[in-house]
Homo-oligomer: A and B are copies of this chain.
Amino acid sequence: MSTEDTTARRRGRRPAGQDTRAVLLEAARAVFAENGYERATVRSIAARAGVDAAMVNHWFGGKEGLFAQAVLKLPFEPDELVPILRDGPDDELGARIAHTFLTRWDGVGGDTFQALIRSIAGHEAASNVLRDFFSQFFTGLLSDLGSDRLELRVALCASQVVGMGLIRYVARFPPMASAEVDTLVAAVAPTLQRYLTGDID
């Protein structure tokens, strides 16, 4: 392998890396479809893609992250998002979450969210991965804020975030389907803020 190749692989965002990543995602979709989530292994997915299993863990954080990217097609990863969202006043956390969620999902198109909802309605594994994603994501966000009843708060945030996506991208209720991001952020941010740090009794 040339020095150039090695550099490209290390950075993981260069064309060569993206090709391998696409091959891995395709292999993952096939193996998850054939074996289901529980019986699929990182080893078998890596073997089908012709790459080392360590690369899967490096890029996707293991089977769960691979499922999230390949099947749920989440346009973000919890580890990447938490530092971005923590960067600002605590009392505007709800607004930053709503804004980030909407701009990311608007960016990849509504079909991706529809595929997510179909996965959730059809596969228990998809729900498990979504639950773990939200749990990891919001627990990371909430860890310093001193809120009680974290698990319920995470579920409440998920209900509003996923519900907003369902109405905007799948059921397409006007005017939510076409509303400006800022309009929806203004309406939904106080809800998320209360679920994160406010009174829920």
Q: A residues within 8 Å of B by Cβ? A: 114, 117-118, 120-122, 127, 130-131, 134, 151-152, 154-156, 158-164, 166-168, 170-176, 179, 183, 186-188, 190-191, 194-195, 200-201
With contacts A159-B164, A160-B160, A162-B167 known, is A175 near B151, CB below 8 A? yes
Q: Is the interface of A mostly helix, strand, loop or mixed?
A: helix
Contact partner of A120 among B154, B170, B187, CB < 8 A?
A: B170
Copies in the assembly, this chain: 2
Does the CB pair A131–B173 fall under 8 Å? yes
* B176–A156 CB distance below 8 A: yes
* A127 interface neighbour in B156, B172, B188, Cβ under 8 Å: B172
Partner of A171, one of B131, B174, B186: B131
Between-chain CB contacts (< 8 Å), 18 pairs: A114-B121, A118-B122, A121-B170, A127-B171, A127-B172, A151-B174, A152-B176, A156-B187, A156-B188, A158-B163, A159-B160, A160-B163, A162-B163, A163-B163, A163-B164, A163-B166, A186-B200, A191-B191
Q: Please state if A120 and B171 are interface contacts (CB–CB under 8 Å).
A: yes
Complex CA gap A172/B159 in Å reads 11
Provide the bound-state CA to CA distance between A173 and B159, in Å: 9
Interface contact B127-A155, CB-CB below 8 Å? no
Which of B122, B155, B164 touches A167 (beta carbons < 8 Å)?
B155
Q: Is the CB of A187 within 8 A of B200?
A: yes
Q: In the complex, which residue of chain B has the Cβ closest to the Cβ of A130?
A: B171
How close is A185's CB to chain B, nearest CB, in angstroms?
A: 11
Q: How far is the CA of A173 from the CA of B118 in the complex (A)?
A: 17
The answer to whether A161 and B163 have CB atoms under 8 Å apart is yes
